[in-house]
Homo-oligomer: A and B are copies of this chain.
Amino acid sequence: MALTDRQSTSLLAIDPKLPMAPQIYGNIRQSILNLRLAPKQALSEKELALMLGVSRTPVREALIKLAEDGLVDIFPQRGTFVAPIRVSEVLEAQFIREALEVSVVARVAELSDPAISARLRESLARQKRAADNGDLDGFLAEDENFHFILSVSVNLTRAWKVIQNVKGQLDRVRVLSLPEPGHLTELYEQHMAIVTAIESGNAKVAKKHMAKHLQQVFRTIDSLLAKRPEIFD
């Protein structure tokens, strides 16, 4: 199927005043993560440039960055394709994220700064509201923000960037996990446990809760391998 056959409204939200390459990167990345661009689908510089109303150069730069994220595969002189979901890479992304976030949360717990705790509590309140309303998108956004607060509050912005990069592999799996009832509340309670451990200054417990929290993906991978085999490898 040709790219231009698809509806592409969100792909057109480009502000010509801002640098285009990062915008294009974010745009295509989002489309890959929510699977509007399906795994294994061909992407071409020329066609994307046409769709987005820009030249091929910034598109090319965006695709290179996506290739570093492992979200597209570039085969020189052959073509560029949305990367299939490779279980091994998803598992490795989980490993990297867990290693980093567990270390981050330990540092946060050791600091035990009331100001940080306050920000986390505010995030928790917003999460609860979203969970109660069944607002999936709102909850996911606040979930992202929760983890962002942890890294940035202890001045680990680059660690956050790394987490963000590898998290792409995980997000693509997560959107496929059907939003089961009570799932959001479950995640909220895990976050709550982490914050409680942080506030008690217990780094060891905080690490344990964080690790368990992040290992949730394992469950969704198993169910997906059975349900949607075509998007893998």
- Tell me how many chains of this kind the complex includes: 2
Kindly list the 8 A-B residue pairs having the minimum CB-CB distance in the complex, ordered from nearest: A99-B103, A99-B99, A92-B158, A99-B100, A96-B159, A162-B162, A92-B156, A96-B162
State whether A96 and B92 are in contact (beta carbons under 8 Å apart), knowing that A61-B61, A61-B64, A70-B158 are contacts in the complex: no
Contact of A158 among B19, B96, B155 (CB under 8 A): B96
Say which residue of B57, B70, B95, B103 sits within 8 Å of A156 (CB atoms): B95
Residue A214 lies at the interface, judged by CB distance under 8 Å to chain B: no
Complex Cα gap A99–B89 (Å): 19
For the complex, is A114 an interface residue (Cβ under 8 Å from B)? no
Interface membership of chain A positions 13-53, coded 1 if the CB is closer than 8 angstroms to chain B and 0 otherwise: 00000010000000000000000000000000000000000
Separation in Å of the A188 CB from the closest CB of chain B? 26
A93 at the interface (CB under 8 A from B): yes
For this complex, 11 residue pairs linking A to B, each with C-beta atoms less than 8 Å apart, are A19-B76, A57-B57, A61-B64, A68-B68, A89-B158, A92-B156, A95-B103, A99-B104, A158-B166, A162-B162, A162-B166
Is A4 interfacial (CB 8 A cutoff)?
Answer: no
A100: nearest residue on chain B (CB-CB)? Answer: B99
A133 within 8 A of B: no
Contacts of A158 in B (CB 8 A): 70, 89, 92-93, 96, 166
A162 to B192, CA, bound (A): 30
- A68: chain B residues within 8 A (beta carbon): 65, 68
